[in-house]
Amino acid sequence: MSSNQKDTIYRGQQPANPFKFDEKVAAVFPDMIQRSVPGYDNIIHGIQQLAKKFVAANTHCYDLGCSLGAASLAMSQGIEKENCQVIAIDNSEAMIKRCELFVESYHHETPITVACADISDQKIENASMVVLNFTLQFIELEKRQVIIDRIYQGLNPGGVLVLSEKILSPDNLFNQLLIDLHHDFKRANGYSELEISQKRNALENVLVPETIDDHIKRLKQSGFKSADIWQQQFNFCSFIAIK
Ligand code: GEK
């Protein structure tokens, strides 16, 4: 998925407002996520591969917090089985409007249904694949276990959850190193010091990262027997959990 709109939201001095997934963000989102999230393209590509392996005929696939639908399109392109459906959910109207346009303009075999809804209220049924690609980190901490529990309940045996998150290291020195490496990545992608620091402040208390242990514990508590990391670059990590 591409867009030629460059992310310049934090280029000039900005009021110290919390980060929001509004129209301004939706308009530059493909550029923003690629220049800000190390390993994003590899994860999206991997989601297509996983869809090919895990998605069973006559089942649902969910993309929770779909933004513009990159993971939905990847799933749809990877699915080789009959009679499946991809359900893409986001609670930002600006994202959903643009997601509908993206989904219409790319070729895909498996239908994608796009809806504006809160993932905390989303029913998960007859699923063979669920994707939470950098979404759980925006949900209140106390709601996270309930969401993972509901996903576990809605997955069929053998189904897969892909959970990607910005993570914290429990070791302060190592944590700071990962943050520095991430900021180098953003500098190398053309973000200035002002952009990096204003974005960091805007995300404070909006994006709440946890440790790898916190995520694995939560997945195991829901009932997933197999849960581990399949991709990581600096403090951006993707887990797979299989029911
Ligand atoms: C991708 N997965 O390109 N309910 C629904 N959506 C939500 C909620 C909620 N409660 N909270 C936040 N979101 C995408 C990238 S971006 C990640 C996901 C990022 C949505 C929010 O509106 C936004 O579109 C998305 O989660 C997070 O593969 O920007 O770092």
Tens-digit pLDDT profile for residues 178-206: 999 999 999 998 876 777 777 787 778 88
pTM higher than 0.85: yes
* CATH number given to 43-168+212-242: 3.40.50.150
What integer pLDDT is reported at residue 196 of this predicted model? Answer: 73
What residue owns the CA closest to ligand 1's atom 26? 65
pLDDT above 60 for 152: yes
Of 22, 68, 87, 90, the residue with max ligand 1 atoms within 8 A of its CB, to mutate for a pocket test, comes to: 90
95 Cβ inside 6 Å of ligand 1: yes
In whole angstroms, what is the distance from residue 76 CA to residue 99 CA?
14
134 Cβ inside 6 Å of ligand 1: yes
Least reliable range by pLDDT among 20-24, 75-79, 108-112, 194-198: 194-198
What integer pLDDT is reported at residue 25 of this predicted model? Answer: 78
Whole-Å CA distances, 71 to 31, 61, 153, 177, 222: 16, 10, 22, 29, 23
> How far does the centroid of ligand 1 lie from the alpha carbon of residue 135, in Å?
5
In whole angstroms, what is the distance from residue 128 CA to residue 110 CA?
14
What integer pLDDT is reported at residue 206 of this predicted model? Answer: 83
